[in-house]
């Protein structure tokens, strides 16, 4: 699959590159695995002078030997004596940049926490002493979000405040998913929605599905439920390192949210455990869930739900992890039947998020959310505000257009419109087919 999107990130990376004419610059690329951070860094580097170092799980000495081989090939310089620690490798790379401007990419940068945590303070010292004498364009990539956040955004850490830019790389937008499908002659609303639902716009997952000719709902499910599918254990592979020894409780919380237990009270009732701290970590440290409040609620209001922000993980926890016993025994027909049974309800919730993103991409609204009253009464799937023009859009979203009822929406609107006096309301009924006018 060719390179898509990322125009803004490329523009800012090229701007930093221009600034290295006078001093060294440091950029950080973070975001979950499979989102395309490495590909972005290599696309940016292109044909310009660069060296790519991957921090694999091995001893510091062996890692340095590997790095030195790459440095010798890239710069054709002799290295006298044995270098056993990364401190000396980084010093050498900084010295090279005094004579030659180039880009240094260090991937899986957070792995130094496991190899030798003192690397970060040693790098800080070398960087502070030499950055203004050198012309190094340093790009540091990390996939363990919690650790990368700690390294660069925790005031107690040595590299805090050193990065000139921190990029959080996000999945592809719905528009970009459509652009990809156009290139494959597969663009239609249902294919766009299916890729959004199953991948959440993660470039690697989209690439894998398209390479395997899995672009319809049935083919994607078949690919998921193959005994050799890379997706079967993907959630565990992604998150166990993030969560560490507490992964069991985190997985249980995410499973419950994916199954519709979206309030703290519901989750605590099921787990019989106080989960306030876990929810805070999932939201703020791991960026895996977000809070949802009625769009007109006041700060601190108790009417609160949680949702998983990653569509792939939401599906994985709902249907794969929840049925892990069937996965282990290879009973994929059982899981397929569960998916078919629950898919209408499950995909209806995702369709609401789909339309939220579509309308956000129009740029016509400054706030988009949902509305409900206590006990989930008068629930409205989408409320979009333009506070400058004083307009409010209220929409009911259903997969099946037959189930949409304008009179029901008008009745629900009476519960929220008094909160926005002077606003001009617009009421919409939206099914998947209605997305065509915004996407095609």
Instruction: Give residue 298's pLDDT.
Output: 81
In the chain, where the domains are located? 7-168, 174-224, 234-330, 358-439
- Pull the structure tokens for residue 422: 């002077």
The HSE-up count of residue 38 (CA atoms within 13 Å, CB side) is 15
Q: Does the 358-439 domain belong in CATH 3.40.1350?
A: yes
Q: What CA–CA distance (Å, rounded) separates 148 from 133?
A: 27
Residue 277, pLDDT above cutoff 70: yes
- Look at residue 155 and give its three-state secondary structure: coil
As a whole number, the mean pLDDT across the chain is 94
The reported pLDDT for the residue numbered 77 is 79
Q: Write the pLDDT tens digit of every residue in 336-371.
A: 999 999 999 999 999 999 999 999 999 999 999 999
Q: Would you tell me which CATH number, out of the four given (1.10.10, 3.30.1050, 1.10.12, 1.10.3470), belongs to the domain 234-330?
A: 1.10.10
- Residue partners of 48: CB distance under 8 A and separation at least 6: 17, 102, 103
Q: Which residue has the higher pLDDT, 334 or 400?
A: 334
Per-residue exposure over 302-320, b if at least 16 CB sit within 10 Å of its own CB, e if not: eeebbebbbbbbbbbbbbb
pLDDT of residue 416: 96
- Which pLDDT does position 144 carry in this prediction? 85
Question: Shortest CA distance to 358 belongs to which of 297, 439, 290?
Answer: 439
Q: CA 30 to CA 18: how far, in whole Å?
A: 22
Q: What does the pLDDT look like over 293-331, one tens digit per residue?
A: 999 988 777 789 999 999 999 999 999 999 999 999 999
Residue 367 parent element (H or E): strand 367-373
What letter does residue 320 receive in the DSSP assignment? I
What pLDDT, in 10s, does the model give residues 86-116?
A: 999 999 999 999 999 999 999 999 999 999 9
Query: Which tokens sit at 19?
Result: 């600034």
Percent of residues in the chain assigned helix, strand, coil, to nearest 5: 55, 15, 30
**Reported pTM:** 0.92
Which of 124-128, 301-305, 337-341, 377-381 has the lowest average pLDDT? 301-305
Residue 78 pLDDT class (50, 70, 90 cuts): confident
**Phi, psi at residue 382, to the nearest 5°?**
-140, 130
Report whether 43 contacts 6 (CB < 8 A).
yes
Inform me whether the pLDDT recorded for 28 exceeds 80: yes
Identify the pLDDT of residue 192: 97
Average pLDDT over residues 32-39: 95
The CATH class for the domain spanning 7-168 reads: alpha beta
- pLDDT tens digits, one per residue of 149-170: 999 999 999 999 999 999 999 9
Those residues whose C-beta lies under 8 Å from the C-beta of residue 87, and which sit 6 or more positions away, are 119, 122, 123, 126
Q: Contact 91/40 with Cβ under 8 angstroms?
A: no
Query: Under DSSP, is residue 382 helix (H, G, I), strand (E, B) or coil?
Result: strand
Task: Find the farthest-apart pair of alpha carbons in the chain and give their distance in angstroms, rounded.
Answer: 81
Cα–Cα nearest to 196, from 417, 69, 354, 27? 354
141 and 108 Cβ atoms separated by less than 8 Å? yes
User: Can you list the pairs that 5-14 forms with residues at least 24 positions away whose Cβ atoms lie under 8 Å?
Assistant: 5/172, 5/173, 5/176, 5/179, 6/36, 6/40, 6/43, 6/169, 9/40, 9/167, 9/169, 10/40, 10/43, 10/44, 12/165, 12/167, 13/40, 13/44, 13/139, 13/165, 14/44
Which one, of 173, 179, 223, 215, lies nearest residue 194 by Cα? 215
Asked whether the beta carbons of 337 and 388 are under 8 A apart, the reply is no
Under DSSP, is residue 381 helix (H, G, I), strand (E, B) or coil? strand
Which tens digits make up the pLDDT trace of 176-225?
Answer: 999 999 999 999 999 999 999 999 999 999 999 999 999 899 999 999 99
10 Å CB burial of residue 103 (0-12, 13-18, 19+) is buried
The pLDDT, as a whole number, for residue 301 is 74
pLDDT at 353: 96
What mean pLDDT is predicted for residues 240-268?
94
Buried b (16+ CB within 10 A) or exposed e, 403-428: ebeeeebeebbebbeeebeebeeeeb
Model pLDDT, residue 439: 86
CA atoms of 79 and 137, how far apart (whole Å)? 22
Per the model's pLDDT, the better-predicted residue between 46 and 371 turns out to be: 371
Output the pLDDT for position 81: 66
Lowest average pLDDT, out of 16-20, 250-254, 303-307, 352-356, goes to: 303-307
Between strands 305-308 and 289-292, the pairing is antiparallel
| Residue 386 contacts residue 420 (beta carbons within 8 Å) | no
């Amino acid at each position: 699959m060719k390179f898509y999107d990322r125009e803004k990130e490329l523009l800012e990376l090229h701007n930093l590159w221009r600034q290295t004419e006078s001093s060294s610059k440091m950029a950080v690329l973070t975001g979950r695995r499979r989102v395309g951070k490495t590909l972005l860094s290599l696309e940016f580097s292109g044909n310009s002078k660069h060296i790519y170092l991957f921090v694999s799980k091995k001893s510091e000495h062996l890692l340095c030997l590997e790095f030195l081989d790459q440095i010798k090939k890239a710069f054709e310089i002799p290295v006298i004596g044995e270098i056993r620690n990364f401190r000396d490798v980084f010093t050498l790379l900084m010295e090279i940049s005094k004579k030659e401007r180039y880009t240094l990419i260090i991937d899986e940068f957070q792995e130094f926490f496991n190899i030798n945590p003192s690397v970060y303070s040693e790098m800080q010292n070398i960087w502070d002493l030499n950055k203004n004498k050198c012309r190094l364009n340093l790009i540091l990539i990390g996939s363990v979000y919690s650790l990368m956040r700690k390294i660069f955004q925790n005031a107690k850490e040595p590299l805090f405040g050193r990065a000139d830019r921190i990029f959080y790389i996000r999945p592809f937008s719905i528009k970009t998913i459509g652009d990809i499908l156009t290139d494959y002659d597969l663009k239609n609303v249902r294919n766009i929605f299916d890729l959004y639902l199953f991948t959440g716009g993660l470039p690697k997952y989209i690439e894998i599905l398209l390479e395997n000719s899995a672009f319809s709902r049935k083919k994607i499910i078949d690919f998921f439920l193959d005994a050799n599918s890379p997706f079967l254990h993907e959630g565990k592979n992604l998150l166990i390192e993030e969560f560490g020894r507490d992964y069991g409780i985190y997985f249980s919380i995410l499973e419950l949210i994916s199954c519709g237990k979206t309030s703290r009270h519901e989750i605590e009732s099921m787990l019989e455990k106080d989960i306030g701290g876990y929810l805070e970590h999932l939201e703020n440290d791991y960026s895996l869930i977000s809070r949802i409040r009625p769009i007109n609620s006041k700060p601190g209001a108790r009417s609160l739900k949680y949702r998983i922000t990653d569509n792939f993980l939401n599906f994985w926890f709902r249907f794969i992890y929840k049925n892990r016993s069937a996965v282990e025994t290879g009973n994929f027909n059982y899981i397929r039947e569960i998916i078919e049974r629950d898919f209408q309800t499950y995909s209806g919730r995702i369709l609401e998020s789909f339309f939220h993103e579509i309308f956000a991409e129009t740029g016509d609204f400054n706030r988009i959310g949902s509305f409900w009253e206590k006990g989930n009464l008068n629930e409205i799937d989408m409320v979009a505000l333009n506070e400058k023009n004083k307009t409010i859009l209220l929409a009911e979203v259903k997969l099946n257009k037959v189930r949409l009822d304008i009179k029901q929406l008008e009745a629900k609107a009476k519960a929220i419109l008094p909160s926005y006096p002077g606003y001009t309301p617009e009421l919409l009924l939206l099914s998947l087919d209605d997305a065509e006018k915004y996407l095609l």
